[in-house]
Each structure stands twice: as C-alpha cells, then as structure tokens.
C-alpha cells in the first residue's frame, strides 16, 4: 500500500533559487558568456551590463527575445554562477570566469561552483534570502547530498537518491536545512519511506531545484544519473567528495542577522558584493580537476586481475536498463539515454588511452536533445595522436533478448543525414547492440556514412524524404566492431 509523503508542517520550508533558462545548454552558454565577459573587461556597472546584454542577444536563438528576457539571462548568470564581481561602481570578470575562460575545464568549474553554493546566499532573490535567514536556514546542499550518498554506499552496494527524495527529505525540511539532522537519521527516514512505498509530489517546479543541484553534481563528475532515475556517487572521486563533506566553506556575512526577529531586504542587499567575493575565494588553491586515471575501489574485482572500471560502469548501466524492463517501465528514451551514457564512458577512456589531456577529455559531452544538431555526442578523433580534431557521434542503441538475429542497420532522420553530409569524415555512427542472454554489448562504428553510401561499401540505402536507412553486411570492411564488456 502506498501513501503520499508529507513533511510535518512545523518543519516545512521550501528552498528555491534562480533557475537558468538555458540549463539544457548550460555548457555552451557559459563558454560563450565567459568569453564575452572577458572581452568586456572592467567597466562602469551600467556600461558593463549594457554591453553584456548586447552580447547575450547575439547568442543563437536570442535575437527575437524581449529586453526583459535578456535582462533575466544576465541576472541568472550574475547571481547563480558568480562570473562577475563588482567594486567601487565597476563590474569585471570574476576569478571563476577567468579560470573557466582559460582552462575550459567544465568538471572543475562545476565543482568550484557547488563547493560554495549554499543557503542563504547572494544567488537568491532578496525576498527569499530574507525568508531563509528569518527561519534559521543554513544549508550546503552539495555537501549534505554527497554525505548521504557516501553514508548509504557500503562495499559494492551503492546508494542512490531520486530528485523527489532529495526535495522532500532535504530541501524542504527544516530538520535538515536548519537543525542539521545527523546523516544516519536522515538515511533511516528515507529508508522507512521506501519501505512504506511512499509517493512524492513531483508536479510543477516542486522537484526542480533539488534536481538542478543533482544535475550539477553530474556535470561535476561527482554523481551519475542512472536509467532508474536515481543519482549515485562516483566513488572513484572519494577524496573530492570528502573535501565537500568535511570542509565546505561557509559564508558568514549574514551571521549577525540570525538573532533578529525579522531581517529586512534592505539590510542584506549591501552584502551582495561580499557574497561574490566569497564565491571566488580559494579557487586557485583547490585541486578540483578531473582525473580519469582514478579507479573506484568498489569497481575492482576480487582477484589479481582488475576489470577496467569503464566495463563495470557499462555493466551497471545495462543492469539497470534490464531492471527497468522487469518493472515494465522501460521506454525508448531510457534505452537511448543508456546508450549515450555508455558512449561517453567509452569515449573518455578511448581518448585518455590515445594521449588526450584532461581538458580534452572534459570536453567530450552529450549534446542537448533540444538543439537538434543531428548527433548525440561530441568527442575527438584519437587516432595517430590526434586528440584535437572534433568528431560528431550519432548513437543508436538496441536491446534484444538474445543475439540470434543481430541487427545490422540503423535509421537516420533528415537532420542526422544532413549532419553526416556536412561533417563527412568527422561524423560517426555508433551502433550499440545489447543482448541479455548472454550478457553482451557490442559496438559497431561507421565513419562518414555519406561517403560510404557513395562508395557502396556499407550498403546504405536512401529512403527520402523521411530519412535514411544505413545497413551493412556481416563482414563489411566499412564497419569496425568491438565488445564493450571485454
């Protein structure tokens, strides 16, 4: 029997923050904005804002947006990500912005961002900031989430959380955000809710604020989201997780207001500059860069031979995908998402083996679906030491019960075929075939299907106007094959 979970009324206080309207393209937007902010340099605040607004309007898709929307973008970038600092009437690039511009290390950027992100903070709208102080909130979300994930993970059994659980058990509960409830007690309450088969309100924006932080933890490579909808800790980065849990920096600029009966917005507004100075402190002293060479001890085998960490990650993704099928909840999108996760793991390891540096590996990324660019993953060639040439990968994934009838064809949409025609040798199809019995994941790689069709090497057939079917013979030399679980 299920029941709706409710935070007791006396503890209920909902946290929220500014949500970027560009979240699905956050890396592209932040890369563009860091470059533009650096180009603006230091200027009087009003002139700086005017120039930045002009830059925002130049970003693809913003040409027809209203001035209010452009201003909202600027506010979101300024307030949430701390890319701008101000002093003596001038605005200028923050140290976080400067480092992002020069390093282009996204994992490090999101780790730095989450390390200082807390409630209350200058990223909040003034009214909600005052409300947080008035009810006594002091909450560092990344450290509490990571602490809970680490606490629940024992041995090979990893503990995961949904965005709804984080919302209702943490973000909206003063026992956590104000009273600093010990992690074991929080863990037990979540476990009891699971035993009681509780359901959660997930309508509207209810779970989106906690969901944002969880997604930023994924971008920081400290968690990963599996097909079952839960977020799990990346234990190979345990030392970074410990630094979040044990030494989260706290902003003390609001401390004097906690003894007041009701702080006013006008009293806390002047502290905005101090907040952004705090966000940008200590960046150069923290080593938050991504290290692909670290192996999670939970992913090692018991014997002397260690299976590659990436194979275990892929096995876990496949296991959860098959579990969804048992529950009757697996969708085509779940299969596609799993395939893209597998390709990201494969590509990061492949480029690392090819000599790619940390910055290059961090640039391997999933392209947001809403951009409709005709491919799913951006990676690098990784041949003959070339880890600078970008490639575009369209991922096609199939799950079958057994390998009796291997599928040697995929369909491409019009935009995907257009991308293949545009990028030629830099366009790849990654065909993943997952079989359940025996458990296997095979990868078929086709480079430049447009030219292959012209050479008649891969048996490509065109069925315009709806799209293209790419098929190949069993021993076609145009297709490279490998096992992902070897």
Where the chain has pLDDT below 50, the residues are 1, 292-307, 404
Encoded tokens for 306: 């260690």
Other CB atoms within a 10 A radius of the CB of residue 425 amount to 12
Tell which CATH classification among 2.60.40.10, 3.20.20.70, 3.20.20.10, 1.10.10.2090 matches the domain 3-279.
Answer: 1.10.10.2090
Report the C-alpha gap between 194 and 117 in whole angstroms.
Answer: 29
Residue 182 · residue 176 · CB < 8 Å:
no
Q: Is 366 helix (H, G, I), strand (E, B) or coil?
A: strand
The pLDDT assigned to 63 comes to 79
Of 85, 84, 108, residue with least CA distance to 27: 108
Task: DSSP letter for 155, please.
Answer: T
* Residue 255, Cβ density class (10 Å: 0-12 exposed, 13-18 middle, ≥19 buried): exposed
Q: Is 461 helix (H, G, I), strand (E, B) or coil?
A: strand
Is the fold of 3-279 the same as that of 309-483?
Answer: no
The pLDDT assigned to 307 comes to 42
State how beta strands 198-199 and 90-93 pair.
Answer: unpaired
Non-local (6+) Cβ contacts of 371 within 8 A are: 24, 25
Q: Which fold has domain 309-483?
A: Trna Endonuclease; Chain: A, domain 1 (3.40.1350)
Cα–Cα distances in angstroms (integers) from residue 48 to residues 31, 52, 58, 94, 117, in the given order: 18, 6, 16, 13, 25
Radius of gyration of the chain (CA): 24
Encoded tokens for 344: 């990201």
Non-local (6+) Cβ contacts of 6 within 8 A are: none
Cα–Cα distances in angstroms (integers) from residue 377 to residues 214, 320, 420, 429, in the given order: 21, 22, 13, 10
- CA of residue 29 relative to chain centroid, distance: 14
Domain ranges of the chain: 3-279, 309-483
Any idea which residue has 């088969």 for tokens?
197
Cα–Cα distances in angstroms (integers) from residue 230 to residues 86, 140, 159, in the given order: 39, 20, 9
If you count them, how many residues does the chain have?
486
Any idea which residue has 């650096």 for tokens?
38
The pLDDT assigned to 69 comes to 86
Q: At what angle do helices 45-58 and 26-40 cross, to 10 degrees?
A: 140
């Amino acid at each position: 029997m299920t029941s709706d979970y409710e935070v007791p009324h006396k503890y209920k206080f909902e946290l929220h923050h500014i949500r970027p309207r560009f979240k699905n393209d956050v890396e592209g937007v932040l890369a563009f904005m860091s470059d533009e902010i650096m180009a603006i340099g230091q200027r009087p605040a009003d002139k700086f804002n005017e120039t930045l607004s002009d830059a925002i309007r130049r970003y693809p898709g913003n040409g027809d947006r209203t001035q209010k929307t452009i201003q909202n973008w600027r506010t979101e970038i300024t307030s949430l990500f701390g890319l701008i600092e101000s002093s003596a009437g001038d605005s200028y690039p923050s140290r976080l912005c400067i480092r992002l511009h020069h390093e282009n290390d996204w994992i490090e950027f999101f780790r730095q961002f989450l390390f200082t992100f807390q409630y209350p903070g200058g990223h909040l709208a003034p009214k909600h900031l005052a409300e947080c102080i008035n009810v006594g909130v002091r909450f560092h979300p990344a450290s509490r989430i990571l602490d809970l994930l680490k606490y629940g993970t024992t041995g090979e059994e990893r503990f995961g959380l949904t965005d709804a659980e984080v919302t209702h058990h943490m973000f909206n509960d003063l026992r956590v955000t104000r009273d600093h409830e010990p992690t074991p007690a929080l863990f037990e309450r979540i476990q009891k809710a699971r035993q009681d088969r509780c359901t959660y309100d997930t309508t509207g924006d209810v779970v989106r604020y906690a969901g944002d932080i969880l997604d930023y933890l994924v971008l920081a490579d400290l968690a990963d989201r599996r097909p079952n909808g839960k977020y799990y800790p990346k234990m190979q980065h345990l030392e970074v997780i410990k630094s979040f849990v044990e030494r989260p920096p706290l902003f003390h600029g609001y401390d004097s207001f906690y003894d007041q009966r009701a702080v006013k917005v006008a009293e806390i507004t002047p502290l905005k500059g101090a907040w952004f100075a705090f966000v940008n402190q200590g960046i150069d002293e923290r080593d938050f860069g991504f290290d692909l060479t670290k192996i999670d001890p939970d992913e090692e085998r018991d014997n002397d031979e260690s299976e590659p960490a990436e194979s275990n990650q892929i096995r876990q993704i496949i296991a959860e995908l098959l579990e969804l099928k048992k529950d009757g909840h697996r969708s085509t999108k779940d299969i596609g998402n799993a395939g893209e996760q597998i390709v990201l793991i494969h590509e990061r390891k492949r480029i690392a083996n090819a000599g790619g540096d940390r910055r290059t590996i961090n640039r391997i990324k999933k392209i947001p679906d809403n951009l409709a660019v005709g491919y799913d993953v951006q990676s690098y060639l990784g041949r003959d030491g070339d880890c600078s040439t970008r490639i575009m990968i369209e991922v096609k994934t199939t799950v079958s019960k057994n390998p009796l009838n291997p599928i040697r064809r995929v369909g491409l949409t019009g935009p995907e075929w257009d991308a293949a025609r545009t990028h030629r040798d830099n366009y790849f199809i990654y065909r993943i075939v997952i079989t359940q019995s025996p458990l296997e994941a095979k990868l078929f790689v086709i480079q430049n299907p447009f030219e292959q069709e012209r050479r008649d090497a891969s048996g490509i057939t065109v069925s315009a106007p709806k799209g293209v079917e790419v098929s190949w013979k069993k021993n076609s030399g145009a297709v490279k094959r490998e096992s992902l679980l070897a």
